[in-house]
Amino acid sequence: MVYRVPFIEPAKNYRMIKDEIDAVFFEVVSKGDLVMRGQLKQFEENFSKFVGTKYAVGLNSGYDALHISMIAAGIKKGDEVIVPAHTFLATASAVVNAGGTPVLVDVGKDYDIDVTKIEEAITPRTKAIIPVHLNGRVSDMGAVMGIADKYNLVVVEDACQSLGATFNRKNAGSFSLTGCWSFYPFKMLGGYGDGGAITTNDPRVARMATLLRYNGEDRETKEYHYHGFSCLLDNLQAAFLDVKLRHLPDWINRRREIAARYREGLRDIEELKLPHFDDPRFEDVYQNYVIRTSRRDELADHLKKNGVEVLIHYPKPYYSYRALKLEDRGFPETEAICREVLSLPMNVEINDEQVEYVIKTVRSFFK
Ligand SMILES: Cc1ncc(COP(=O)(O)O)c(C=O)c1O
C-alpha cells in the first residue's frame, strides 16, 4: 500500500542529500577505500565530538556496541545486569550473550527505566545497569548514576534511540562507561545498511573495542590480543554517516518542530496521552513520537485505512517470549504500554501538510 504519510521515506531522504552522498560514494569506491580507512577515523572523530566524549569506535550494529560494552564491563557468568522491561530485545540479548543474567525493571510513564524500582532489583550478584534512552528521551541519569555509585555498579547506556537528546544539558551516551549507538537505516542517523558505535571517555575501553571489532588484532603490530569478533563499521557507511551527521542538528530541530505541531494539534483529546513530560532537565529528540490510548488497535486501523502509516514500539513485552527464558517479576507499566502505544510518522522527510493530515486523521477518529 502506498501511504499518503509513510512512517519513514529513506529514498526521499537520499534525494534530499543526493549530491553529497553520491560524491562520497564515488570517492570511496574509486579509491578502493573499503576497510578501516580515513573516512572511518574522520567519522569517529566527528561523532565523538557530537556526543561529547573522548572516543568513538565504529561497529557493525547497536547490538555489537552493547555486547562489547558488556565484555568491557567485565560481565561474566553469574553476574546480573539490570535492564528495562520495555526496550528492544537487543539490550537483554547482549547481557545473555556475554554470559550474564538480565534482571528486568519496569519503566515509568516516560517509557524509560523507573529509577524508583532499581534498588529493589539489586542483589549481591548485580554488576551493572543498562538504562535505555527510549524514543529519544534520556533516562534520569542523575538518579541512575547515584544508585550506581552507591552500589559500585558499572553503567552502560543504550542510547540507540536518543542521539542528540540531553539530560541536564549533557548528551545521551556521555554519562557512563559507554554509550551504545545504532545506525540502523531507520534511526535518526541511519546508514544505508547496518552500523553502530561505542562512545567512551575511557582509553582502555576504546582500545578494547577497537581490537575486539577486528578479530582481536592490533592492525599495526599484527598481534592478536583477544578472541574477538568481526563487527567493524564499513568505511563506506562511515563516509555516508559523516555526511548525514552534518545535517543532524537541523534534522533534530525539524523533529522537535513536528513534535510541537502534533502536541498543539492533539493536546485537547482527553483519551490520548502525548509524549511531552514537561521536565526542564530533559531535551528530547523524538526518535519515535509515541502516543497512548486504550483504543490503540482501532486507532491504528483507522489511521492506516486513511493513508497514515503507523507502527507499534513494541506490541508484546520481550520477556513474554518463553524461548528467551527471562524472569517476569511483574511489570504493569510495560504491559499497559504494549497494549496502548502507537508511533505516529516522525521523520525529516514529511512536510507540514502531511503533519496536518496526520493530526486531522487522528482527530476524526476521536470525534
Ligand atoms: C533501544 C535499542 N537498543 C539496541 C538496538 C540494536 O541496534 P541494531 O539494530 O543496530 O543492532 C536498537 C535498534 O533497534 C534499539 O532501538
Distance 264 CA to ligand 1 centre (A): 30
**Predicted local distance difference test score (pLDDT) of residue 327:** 97
CA-to-CA separations, 43 to 24, 63, 158, 334, 341, in angstroms, rounded: 13, 19, 20, 36, 35
Three cell numbers at 165? Answer: 537528546
3-state secondary structure 257-316: HHHHHHHHHHCCCCCCECCCCCCCCEECCCCCEEEECCCHHHHHHHHHHCCECCECCCCC
Three cell numbers at 316? Answer: 508484546
**Predicted local distance difference test score (pLDDT) of residue 54:** 98
Cα(95)–Cα(119) distance, rounded to whole angstroms? 19
| 86 contacts: CB under 8 Å, gap ≥ 6 | 106, 107, 111, 134, 314, 317, 331, 333, 334, 337, 338
Three cell numbers at 260? Answer: 510541537
Please count the helices (runs of H) and the strands (runs of E) in the chain: 11, 12
**Predicted local distance difference test score (pLDDT) of residue 1:** 82
Pocket of ligand 1 (CB under 6 A): 61-63, 87-88, 90-91, 132, 158, 160-161, 182, 184, 194, 196
Three cell numbers at 131? Answer: 538504562
Q: What is the pLDDT along the chain (367 residues), one digit of tens a residue?
A: 899 999 999 999 999 999 999 999 999 999 999 999 999 999 999 999 999 999 999 999 999 999 999 999 999 999 999 999 999 999 999 999 999 999 999 999 999 999 999 999 999 999 999 999 999 999 999 999 999 999 999 999 999 999 999 999 999 999 999 999 999 999 999 999 999 999 999 999 999 999 999 999 999 999 999 999 999 999 999 999 999 999 999 999 999 999 999 999 999 999 999 999 999 999 999 999 999 999 999 999 999 999 999 999 999 999 999 999 999 999 999 999 999 999 999 999 999 999 999 999 999 999 9
Distance 28 CA to ligand 1 centre (A): 27
DSSP one-letter code for 345: P
Pairing assessment for the beta strands 101-105 and 166-167 based on DSSP bridges: unpaired
Considering Cα of 202, then 235, then 25, then 27, what sign does the dihedral take? Answer: positive
